[in-house]
Structure 1
Amino acid sequence: MPMSPIECPKNITEFVRNQGHGVKGLADIGITSLPNQYIQPEEKRFNEQKITLSKDGEDHSIPIIDMSNLEKDEIETLICNAAEKWGFFQIVNHGVPLKVLDEIKAATHWFFELSVEEKAKYLEKNSPSKNVKYGTSFSPDFEKVFEWKDHLSLFVTSEEDALAHWPLPCRDEALEYLRSTENVIRKLCNILMKGLNVHEIDGQKESLLMGCKRMNLTFYPKCPNPELTFGTGPHSDASIITILLQDDVGGLYVRRFDDESWIHVPSIDGALVVNVGDVLQILSNGKYKSAEHLVIPNASKSRVSVPIFVHPTSNDVIGPLQEIIDKGAKPIYKDVLFSDYIGHFFSKPHDGKATVEFAKF
């Protein structure tokens, strides 16, 4: 039974972050107004007037690509065009079973319904593995205003490590989701490289493109004042690509390249959202572009999403691909050690596409 609002903790940071209640704990208490720590300055709040609408009032949408009913060349063209012009697209009939998608969404709910004591076992200070971390917001050590979300971050090293250390309520479902998405991730990376006239992916390039994966089980509790905060602030991902599974609550928005207005990304049953990450923008020397996106929480419903971030290993050096430079293109980006890039990404709050500037000449 929820506690009375008068029992809301005085030390929000201690309650939410250090004790491990998360923002879900605040929602469960039944708070009726957003704590100051989550209220964005007025000039940074999401402006709904900048949402792109069509003449009939329906949201414009990012491309939706059917992976089964088109000729191979046509699918490849659609994917590469979407990566250039939108930085985001959705795929359907991708080969990942609907049952697997439903089960990982359910498992995300199961984990966040655990007791505080059980979840706190996976706080960074308590976790049995550095590859498993339960936390809140994005980078709370550096944020002046926190984001309204909790997450379980699972860094993928080996199945043995996962079996030993991932939380039981979501372990098997998370592993099956990873296995089921492996083929579509590889297919997308191959198609995107082909669009750059890179037809052979050797061991070094495979490490660069798909060397590591990190999966987040993300929970956005219902929020008393969603118009004042972000579930996830405006940012682009520090990945090659991100594969995102979202539920039907909604709240994901993408910024258009042409007029900088925002587009709502509708939930489509069985679809996966794919977006270009900063690293792919750098490798492609700007041909493919990562797009800013954000999440607005919901006033009446909790939302879950499960992104898989596909990225290089920490020892890989990222920069424009040699095949592009050999054809006479002037490099826009310098070579950067990926560990330095990702370290910079997490050393500050979400700040639009500022991180990619870190790699520019």
Structure 2
Amino acid sequence: MATLSGAYTETPLHLQYIIPIDFDSVEEVPQSHSWPQSDDESPRRMFNLDGDHFSIPAIDLDSPDAIEMAGHACKIMGIFQVTNHGIPSSLLREVESQAWRFFTLPARAKVKALRSPSGATGYGIARIAPFFNKFMWHEGFTMMGSPLEHAREVWPHGYRKFCEVMEDYQDKMKALSERLLAMILKYLGISEHDVDWPRLRSNACTALQLNSYPRCPDPRQAMGLAPHTDTFLLTILHQNHSAHGLQVHMEGRGWVPVFPMNGALVVNVGDMLHIMSNAMFPSVVHRVIPSENTHRLTVGYFYGPPTDFHVGPIHELTQASGREDAARFRSITVKDYVQMKAENLEKALSMIRIK
């Protein structure tokens, strides 16, 4: 994990891109957080209220067709929801409860867990913030493994429960990620040997992100999380039942909402799976719109290969095309791609694309 943190040392952030505003103290959207709206992004269009309903597929992982359905969803949309995923509902409630415990603290208490300028873990603004002219209506807490270091600063005598829940959640999410990735590779006809599966599993690069989107005085002016793709292989997102606001961009349809589904988890393809699939699976562009009435909470888990793992199109996929030049991306280590993304955001993929 320390190695991944080292990927950010070359791109330290100024404190203005780390410390969130005190959302409890604002009564209107400040100019620093006021985003311009284009004509095609009225609230009706953004929330898909015109009757053109488009649903993200829900896949029962116990279904005999789960592999085919998951692979097809990755190929067509890059996103799906899963049920019968094996994560106890009691644990989902506990992680949500502990997240609320943190985010409902006063701002002066939360900043005790502040992320360092070159760090990867702790409390702060989303790392994509410097790429946009306006700030986002969001605060987050990132952890890689135990959050003990930061939690002890916030609760000197009451940190154990928070740490236990977050560590348990990460363990179970890692197992689910391995299960999902194995299904997706099987859909592609790729064996575990083809991707060095034992090393990928034992040294996977992972992160847990608690996301808070406080109630916003005027959501039409604000952006919860700006459009972006995720960096690693897979992201698994838990949305609380009232957490409306996640949207994905679909070609020909624009922004499509991903409504919370009771007991389901959202799974989306990240850049590294897009690369390994040789662009067969899209890395889905997504964003979050805040709410005037609801404080939105989500918990995201990011799963990727070891930091020294070379990410590139899987050889068996390019070989199947019968062309020597079939690979669409050059190979790059996970650490180098994380650093490239930190420095270039959406341009990172094009920088390793083979023309």
Counterparts of 1:53-64 in structure 2 under 5 Å?
57=51, 59-64=53-58
TM-score of the two chains, using structure 1 as the length reference: 0.82
What corresponds to 2:138 in structure 1? 149
Matches within 5 A, 1:210-289: 211-247=204-240, 248-257=242-251, 259-289=252-282
Tell me if structure 2 keeps the 8 A contact 1:52–1:59.
Answer: no
Q: Which residue of 2 is the match for residue 10 of structure 1?
A: none
> Are the structure 2 counterparts of residues 317 and 75 from structure 1 closer, same or farther at C-alpha, using a change threshold of 3 Å?
same
Q: Deviations over 1:123-149 (max 9, x none)?
A: 12499xx55321024334444211110
Q: Is the 8 A contact 2:112 2:150 kept in 1?
A: no
Matched residue, 1:65: 59
Please say which of residues 143-152 and 173-182 is displaced more in the overlay: 173-182
2:181 counterpart residue number: 189
Q: Aligned pair 1:139/2:128, yes or no?
A: yes
Q: Return the offset for 1:315.
A: 1.7
Q: 1:315 matched to which residue of 2?
A: 308
Match of 1:92 in 2: 83
- Conserved in 1, the CA contact under 8 Å of 2:81 and 2:266? yes
Output the CA distance in 1 between the equivalents of 2:47 and 2:103.
Answer: 34
Cα root mean square deviation, aligned: 2.8
User: Is the alpha carbon distance of 1:93 and 1:287 closer, same or farther for their aligned partners in structure 2, counting shifts above 3 Å?
Assistant: same
Q: Sequence identity of aligned pairs in percent?
A: 27
CA distance in structure 2 between the partners assigned to 1:97 and 1:50 by the alignment: 35
Question: How many pairs align?
Answer: 329
Residue in 2 that maps onto 1:37 = 32
Amino acid at match of 1:316: F
3-state DSSP class of the match of 1:189?
helix
Aligned residues of 1:243 and 1:307 also touching (Cα < 8 A): yes
Structure-2 change in CA distance of 1:35 and 1:75 (3 Å): same
TM-score between the two structures when normalised by the length of structure 2: 0.83
2:336 maps to which of 336, 340, 343 = 340
Residue pair 2:212, 2:298 contacting (<8 A) in 1 also:
yes
Q: Is the 8 A contact 1:120 1:126 kept in 2?
A: no
| Alignment partners' CA distance in 2, 1:335 and 1:269 | 39
| Aligned partner of residue 331 in structure 1, secondary structure | coil
Question: Could you say what secondary structure the match of 1:194 adopts?
Answer: helix
Amino acid at match of 2:248: V
Secondary structure, aligned partner of 1:89:
strand
Cα deviation for residue 292 of structure 1 reads 0.8
Deviation at 1:166, TM superposition (A): 4.4
Partner residue in 2 for 1:179: 171
